[in-house]
Structure 1
Amino acid sequence: MQKAERNLIEPIGEVNFERPKLELAKILHKFQVKLEYIFIKKGYLLLFIGFLLGRALILAKLTPFSLPFFAAVYFLRRDRAPLALIGLVGGAATLSLKIAAVTFVVVFLFLFCFRISKKWLKNEMKALPFYVFSILLIGKTAESFVFSGQVTLYDGMMSGIEASLGFILTLIFLQSIPLLTITKRRQSLKTEEIVCLIIMLASIMTGTIGWSVYDLSVEHIMSRYLVLLFSFVAGATVGSTVGVVTGLIFSLANVSSFYHMSLLAFAGLLGGLLKEGKKTGVAIGLFIATLLIGMYGEGSGTLTKTLLESTSAVLLFFLTPTILTSKLAVYIPGTPEYAAEQQQYMRKMRDVTAQRVAQFSNVFQALSKSFTSLDQVEADEDSNDRELDYFLSNVTEKTCQTCFKKEHCWTRNFNTTYDYMKEIMHEIEEGSGAVSQKLYRDWEKHCTRSKKVLEVIQQELTFYHANQRLKKQVQESRKLVADQLLGVSEVMEDFAKEIQRERENHYKQEEHILEALQSFGIQIEHVEIYNLEQGNVDIEMTIPNCRGHGECEKLIAPMLSDILGETIVVNTEECSTVPNEFCYVTFRSAKAYTVETGVAYAAKDGGLVSGDSYSTIELGFGKYAIAISDGMGNGERAHYESKETLQLLQKILQSGIEEKVAIKSVNSVLSLRTTDEIFSTLDLAMIDLQNASAKFLKIGSAPSFIKRDSKIIKIDSSNLPIGILQDFEVDVVSEQLKAGDLLIMMSDGVFEGPKHVENYDFWMKRKIQELQTDDPQQIADLIMEEVIRSRAGFIEDDMTVVVAKIKHNTPKWASIPVQAYKERA
């Protein structure tokens, strides 16, 4: 009903062309499935191939194709071997009954010998060619003896040639038959498989020698059609190879067809070169080759016939459905269809990998939630009232359980007794183990064992507090584990998104950039664009050896800056030492800010090993980290602790985990790693190079200072050193930096180093205020010198100063206008 109404609503005279196309596509699909079922699954294709190979000849008298084909089919598709035998005998019978009988006898002899010796064979596939060689050599020699009564040297040579050809053809058929009988194939064709397939197809077409339609040779039409097909699908290389191989086999079968090899090879080359013109271009290539090679014929009649054969091949080629050529192109390396198939495969692998990583991320997230929810449940269940009930139960079990007034106190006056004991417990907690006189007198009137109850409450409070501390540590540890698991989950989730971010195709942009640079006179070998996102450009280039002239930094990067509309700089450059080799250069977006650092440090008493460690590193996601760690004490052990702290923190930060979670993880590792009282301070500054925002995380460290013109900003926090507590809250101080700011970070040996100074803050701010330079290294040296001078040259503690200057990232070279690119754009 709905279908009829829809048809009525359609405008009169408007024709729907989609339905006939869909119906035609369905009919063609059903026809294709039916043909595949009949010829491939039922095996009738092997019958047809066997018929053509059975009548194929080499040198006008040798039939080396029959036994290799049957042996390969028998080994690969044993259930279809009878069909292959019928086809071979039938094809041989079209030549003569004698050849048919010989074919049958040779096949029977092969089956007899192979089945008898099969149980002694370890590898049938390797032995198969030798069986074919031996049977053909014996069979053909016996044939010469039976029909002529003697075996001449010529007969022996021909038998050896046919046996050798059979040996080679067996190897070829073992590789090529699966390509014709397997409907679903995922792997690409190897070079040897392509050659084997071509040889087999040419051998099959040899069986059409002598056939003609309206005086046109069928083998010439089919061979040219084969060359057209492969030239169109795979290009000039494979097309010319098909032409040479097919022409060579035809010339072996019929010496008069030798010139045909030149025509096929030339047609394959021209057709492959003109494949950009689609089927028409390939057909033009065949006609050009036909005209040029056909002129060597025996007059205009031969040329006309050759042109008609080429025209017939072209008609067959144009009638070939696109689905067949596309399906064939998928398996041949180098074709766009093959590249698309490989890209699709890589996309599937990428999606599977991203899905697995996302699943792991969900697992870690679920584990984090389970730890968090468990803490919440415990916080709800272990409320103050419940804990108090447990505590009082333990007290009454040791005191009231054996008292004769138990029933009076806990049955008749439960609330009064409970409130008294509760109040006693609170006063002992708050009053350092003592209760007020009034409460003591009231309790003494109420309880006959008042003194013992007070003693037991004091004892139980010790265990109660210890238990509370343990539970709190367990909850804090669970919270830490939950935070760490959540951090890992977020990193893996981001990684899954990065995997799914497919490299975009920037072929046009690559061509435009290549043309623009070459038009400027710069020789570029190859351009590869991975990302054109603003602020995240990633381009790789291959250029000839610049011999140290700096073309990449001075010319190419400024031109790319003009083309892309943002500052582009050289990220990495690998120049070859050999003059004729290439240089490989990576160009990236320039950061908005840069950080210039200076460091000064000294060990206690002028020693060689300092207990302080520092690190300055640019992380991979546009952040710059500056860290100072001060190990407890001095010497080797302190240096080891501070260095381990920074190395562990650096690795965790580089993985992408948030700063707070990273510091908590480091603290957890250090606090659980050893029972020794070895602690470290940590002073961390994370600077975003895109907007100059900074985060400061200070764990037991000295204050830091920011000098902005004449203004001094102090950055401080009050966290304990790392490793003392298993869990603590990390205070994050955020500050917006500006270009020209000086960030001064120091260990406590520098901050508390000046002698006879009561206010270290005021002294340090004054020294920084008096600085007459903005060079980071000079500032670090001057501060270190002032502190040591105030101590009369003595260094009483390890000292480290790190100074960082925030600067706008001004490119060294200005952008160069590229007019050619702008005109094209």
Structure 2
Amino acid sequence: MGKVERNLIEPVAEVNFEGPKIELANGLHKFQLKLEAFFLKNGFLLLLIGFLLGRALILAQLTPFSLAFFAAVYYVRRDKAPLALIGVLAGAATLSITEAAITGGIVALFLIVFRITKKWLKNELKAMPLYVLFVLLSGKLASGFVITGQITLFDGLMSGVEASLGYILTLIFLQSLPLLSPSKRRQSLKTEEIVCLIIMLASVMTGTIGWSVYDLSVEHIMSRYLVLLFAFVAGATVGSTVGVVTGLIFSLANVTSFFNMSLLAFSGLLGGLLKEGKKIGVAIGLYIATLLIGMYGEGGELLTTTILETSAAAFLFFLTPSALTSRLAKYIPGTPEYAAEQQQYMRKMRDVTAQRVAQFSTVFQSLSRSFSSFDESMAERDSSDRELDYFLSNVTEKTCQTCFKKEHCWTRNFNTTYDYMKEIMMEMDQNAGIVSQGLTREWDKHCSRSKKVYEVMQQQLTYYQANQRLKKQVQESRRLVADQLLGVSEVMGDFAKEIQRERENHHKQEELILDALRDFGIQIEQVEIYSLEQGNVDIDMAIPYCNGHGECEKLIAPMLSDILEETIVVNKEECGSYPGGLCQITFRSAKAYMVETGVAHAAKDGGFVSGDSYSMIELGTGKFAIAISDGMGNGERAHSESQETLLLLQQILQSGIEEKVAIKSVNSVLSLRTTDEIFSTLDLAMVDLQNAAIKFLKIGSTPSFIKRGSKVIKIQASNLPMGFLHEFEVDVVSEQLKAGDLLIMMSDGVFEGPKHVENYDLWMKRKIQELQTDDPQQVADLIMEDVIRSRTGLIEDDMTVVVAKIQHNTPKWSSIPVQGIRKRA
């Protein structure tokens, strides 16, 4: 009995290899770059391929490769077409001078026709194979007529076959030649591109037919080497495909080589199946195929020659550097190298995306600081002094400018006059336009136009107060925007961190869990661990069809709970649709607490549409939200207002923005959305399912109550309804719940519903204390029933009661001890 270690894989210190090994690696890399530059960039590889294709034959007399290859090179790499032409003519010259002359004439005809008709072409790529078809057909017929003086039906048929093969080969070469280009391209090959590459390589090797070294056929050695290479790199599927294609092309080139197609296909299959044994395993596959096919098809000296050719191919295969095979494997889907290359590409894209999201987060954070970084108290003080000066200037302009005592008041006694007028303005502002008698007597003695000053100051005070309200709204809006930008910045920052989190390497833990469950007798097809973090376990499994017996919940989850030493539950289950299929199950860490809810609601006068709306959702952050919104009035409009308030709040909360900012954002939208006096209350409770802590955010709503045994706790906060003001402060009330607590939330129709009751708080507390049940639905129904009965059955307002019970999340099944798992030290 034990548990899987969460961090079994320790980081290993990196070893820095210095000295000769680094110099050797750098030297090999430079040599490789020089070879690539010589063969690929300079085009000498095309010269070599052209030479071999120039002398390649089909059915011992057809040469469809030359023009097809030249046309493809002329389209793909026109600057290297002369090298390809030299190679093709040199290869054809090894057959005969006549064949070289015919090949040169056909290529010249192709160039002439293409240059003349090029201006009418809309798509050269689609037209190129057709050019090869018609030029090759006409060229072969013309050359036959010149040589023999007549054209027979057989000559026409063979020319048609050769032209058709040229058409197909042009399509193949157009697909495969870009793979030999030095330009950077995507690290993947399509299936048809792989097949085209194989056909081109096999076609090139037909140019070696007739070559031999110590009586060993070069084409047999190279074809078997090609099969070994692809079987080792890509496995049995591609290996057998290479064998079949290569053998087929060799059999077309030389009928006596038909035997080799079976040998190559079989060796490709066996070599691919034995690739787990590295190069030795693939070579053994070739030897087995050679012996089996050789004993049935050949014997004696021929078998010995075949074995020697296989040995030569295996020798070349063992000499092939790992860098070449690894680089080739990166291009073929399904290989580990290809998967690693794709993973590296995806990791790079992930890092770039995370970096951009983090940059946006920084931008929003900077914008938030720019809205909130200034010293509001100092700015407000400076602004108040300046506005006071403007205010007094406007007053004196209309009163003191024409007064005969102007010089006496503002030149000789400036400070006294200024202080008097400032004090009068302050008292008017604070006392609704009333000035104290003492200050009035003093001002009447000082000023000869005191009444005029009072009148003008009262008039200007109206504009001053309006300006102050507007300024306060702007400041509140600035703070709201700063909070919203900061909230968005935090969400984007968290999102960037989530993007950068990879699926950790848990192969060892997966094997341990798999072995433990199988030893217990449970058949498991696959285990994938995404996280073993405490409280955030995430495991996917695939098991055979269980016929609905529920072994995931009853057996596997309890065993995982014992192995990981925390409660594990089935989060998601997709059962197989038929016997013999697989069920996909996701296991997650169980939350420490769970919430059971009950709701009772009624519309005014027993109608169908209530102005109250409620919502109960579990957020992805491990929190449970309960909300009630009461729209102003009753009916469809009130229901629409409250429903829209909750929907908007739910969407903002699910995005990860903090609760206070979310409520302020909703209020801002509601207050700016319409000029109608339509307001909504909001009663929001956020329960943390890990520690049962709860936050209440009440906007114009009625009190809530927590029932803990016989004790009833009242939760209350004072705020105006949402949409009533642009600016308001959200009061947050925090409490710590315990298992078994009842949370009771209600709209004003329930709280203020009882008739002939002076103290609604005491009445509601007494009713809650008298409850004999802790079932949330029964509690909601009983409270609703008591309120309606107190009104003699009348429902004079929309009524909603939501009751939530907090309890420990106890699994249905106890953990099952698992033997043989090593405990973590």
Q: TM tier, shorter chain?
A: over 0.9
Deviation, 1:577, is 4.7
Deviation, 1:471, is 0.7
Partner of 2:205: 205
Q: For 1:78-227, what aligned pairs fall within 5 Å after superposition?
A: 78-227=78-227
Q: For 1:174-323, what aligned pairs fall within 5 Å after superposition?
A: 174-296=174-296, 298-323=298-323
The secondary structure found in structure 2 opposite 1:468 is helix
The secondary structure found in structure 1 opposite 2:756 is coil
Partner of 1:469: 469
The letter of the residue matching 2:457 is I
The secondary structure found in structure 1 opposite 2:569 is strand
The letter of the residue matching 1:161 is V
TM-score (norm 1): 0.94
Question: Any conservation in 1 of the 2:187–2:341 contact (CA below 8 Å)?
Answer: no
The size of the alignment, in residue pairs, is 810
Deviation, 1:97, is 1.1
Which range is displaced more, 82-91 or 121-130? Answer: 121-130
Question: Any conservation in 2 of the 1:519–1:820 contact (CA below 8 Å)?
Answer: no
The secondary structure found in structure 2 opposite 1:295 is helix
The letter of the residue matching 2:687 is I
Deviation, 1:64, is 1.4
Partner of 1:501: 501
Residue 331 (1) aligns with residue 331 (2)? yes
Q: For 1:680-695, what aligned pairs fall within 5 Å after superposition?
A: 680-695=680-695
Q: 1:438 to 1:123 in 2, by over 3 A?
A: closer
Which range is displaced more, 754-763 or 700-709? Answer: 754-763
Deviation, 1:477, is 1.6
Q: Deviations over 1:612-649 (max 9, x none)?
A: 22111111221111111122222222222222221121
Question: Any conservation in 2 of the 1:188–1:332 contact (CA below 8 Å)?
Answer: yes
Partner of 1:5: none
Q: Deviations over 1:641-690 (max 9, x none)?
A: 22222112111111111111111111111222222222222111100111
Q: 1:303 to 1:636 in 2, by over 3 A?
A: same
Partner of 1:538: 538
Unpaired segments ≥5 residues, structure 2: 1-15
Question: Any conservation in 1 of the 2:708–2:741 contact (CA below 8 Å)?
Answer: yes
The secondary structure found in structure 1 opposite 2:785 is helix
Deviation, 1:120, is 2.0
Q: Deviations over 1:315-369 (max 9, x none)?
A: 2222212111111111100011111111111112222222222222222222222
The letter of the residue matching 2:178 is P
The letter of the residue matching 1:536 is N
Partner of 1:734: 734
Q: 1:120 to 1:742 in 2, by over 3 A?
A: same
Residue 622 (1) aligns with residue 625 (2)? no
Deviation, 1:515, is 4.3
Deviation, 1:403, is 2.3
After TM superposition, the runs of 4+ consecutive aligned structure 1 residues lying more than 6 A away are none
Q: Deviations over 1:463-485 (max 9, x none)?
A: 21111111111111221122122
Deviation, 1:790, is 2.2
Q: 1:824 to 1:485 in 2, by over 3 A?
A: closer
Question: Any conservation in 2 of the 1:56–1:63 contact (CA below 8 Å)?
Answer: yes
Deviation, 1:550, is 2.3
The secondary structure found in structure 1 opposite 2:373 is helix
Deviation, 1:821, is 5.7
Deviation, 1:66, is 0.8
Which range is displaced more, 687-696 or 245-254? Answer: 245-254
Partner of 1:4: none
Cα distance in 2 for partners of 1:662, 1:89 equals 78
The secondary structure found in structure 2 opposite 1:296 is helix
Partner of 2:483: 483
Question: Any conservation in 2 of the 1:240–1:267 contact (CA below 8 Å)?
Answer: yes
Question: Any conservation in 2 of the 1:599–1:803 contact (CA below 8 Å)?
Answer: yes
The letter of the residue matching 2:762 is F
Partner of 1:38: 38
Partner of 2:5: none
Question: Any conservation in 1 of the 2:187–2:330 contact (CA below 8 Å)?
Answer: no
Partner of 2:11: none
The secondary structure found in structure 2 opposite 1:783 is helix
Question: Any conservation in 2 of the 1:375–1:478 contact (CA below 8 Å)?
Answer: no
Partner of 2:52: 52
Deviation, 1:820, is 6.0
Cα distance in 1 for partners of 2:515, 2:272 equals 26
Cα distance in 1 for partners of 2:72, 2:377 equals 72
Deviation, 1:158, is 1.8
The secondary structure found in structure 1 opposite 2:208 is coil
Partner of 2:709: 709
Q: 1:124 to 1:425 in 2, by over 3 A?
A: closer
Cα distance in 2 for partners of 1:404, 1:29 equals 100
Percent identity among equivalent residues? 81
Question: Any conservation in 2 of the 1:375–1:475 contact (CA below 8 Å)?
Answer: no
Partner of 2:12: none
Question: Any conservation in 1 of the 2:267–2:290 contact (CA below 8 Å)?
Answer: yes
Q: 1:823 to 1:694 in 2, by over 3 A?
A: closer
Partner of 1:411: 411
Q: Deviations over 1:493-543 (max 9, x none)?
A: 111211111222434444444444444444444444333322222233344
Cα distance in 2 for partners of 1:381, 1:424 equals 19
Query: More relative contact order in 1 or in 2 (CA 8 Å, sep 6+)?
Result: 2
Q: 1:17 to 1:576 in 2, by over 3 A?
A: closer
Q: Deviations over 1:544-584 (max 9, x none)?
A: 44333323322332233233332222222333554555443
The secondary structure found in structure 2 opposite 1:796 is coil
The letter of the residue matching 2:531 is N
Q: 1:565 to 1:303 in 2, by over 3 A?
A: farther
Question: Any conservation in 2 of the 1:524–1:543 contact (CA below 8 Å)?
Answer: yes
Question: Any conservation in 1 of the 2:58–2:253 contact (CA below 8 Å)?
Answer: yes
Which range is displaced more, 179-188 or 765-774? Answer: 179-188
Question: Any conservation in 1 of the 2:235–2:272 contact (CA below 8 Å)?
Answer: yes
Q: Deviations over 1:116-172 (max 9, x none)?
A: 222222222212112212222222222332223332332222222211111111111
Question: Any conservation in 2 of the 1:294–1:303 contact (CA below 8 Å)?
Answer: yes
Partner of 1:558: 558
The letter of the residue matching 1:795 is I
Question: Any conservation in 1 of the 2:360–2:489 contact (CA below 8 Å)?
Answer: yes
Cα distance in 2 for partners of 1:532, 1:520 equals 22
Question: Any conservation in 1 of the 2:67–2:103 contact (CA below 8 Å)?
Answer: yes
The letter of the residue matching 2:798 is D
Unpaired segments ≥5 residues, structure 1: 1-15
Cα distance in 1 for partners of 2:412, 2:46 equals 104
TM-score (norm 2): 0.94
Q: Deviations over 1:731-788 (max 9, x none)?
A: 1111111111111111122222222322222222222112111111111111112222
Q: 1:297 to 1:544 in 2, by over 3 A?
A: closer
Question: Any conservation in 2 of the 1:545–1:582 contact (CA below 8 Å)?
Answer: yes
The letter of the residue matching 1:640 is S
Cα distance in 2 for partners of 1:435, 1:428 equals 6
Question: Any conservation in 2 of the 1:631–1:680 contact (CA below 8 Å)?
Answer: yes
Question: Any conservation in 2 of the 1:224–1:264 contact (CA below 8 Å)?
Answer: yes
The secondary structure found in structure 2 opposite 1:154 is helix
The secondary structure found in structure 2 opposite 1:504 is coil
Partner of 2:773: 773
The secondary structure found in structure 2 opposite 1:694 is strand
Question: Any conservation in 2 of the 1:250–1:257 contact (CA below 8 Å)?
Answer: yes
Q: 1:221 to 1:575 in 2, by over 3 A?
A: same
Cα distance in 1 for partners of 2:127, 2:591 equals 67
Deviation, 1:424, is 2.2
Residue 67 (1) aligns with residue 67 (2)? yes
Which range is displaced more, 775-784 or 638-647? Answer: 638-647
Partner of 1:9: none
The letter of the residue matching 1:810 is T
The letter of the residue matching 2:345 is Y
Q: CA RMSD in A?
A: 2.2
Q: Deviations over 1:715-736 (max 9, x none)?
A: 1111122121111111111111
Partner of 1:6: none
Q: For 1:715-726, what aligned pairs fall within 5 Å after superposition?
A: 715-726=715-726
Deviation, 1:58, is 1.4
Deviation, 1:407, is 2.3
Partner of 2:645: 645
Cα distance in 1 for partners of 2:758, 2:347 equals 67
Q: 1:242 to 1:432 in 2, by over 3 A?
A: closer
Cα distance in 2 for partners of 1:755, 1:728 equals 33
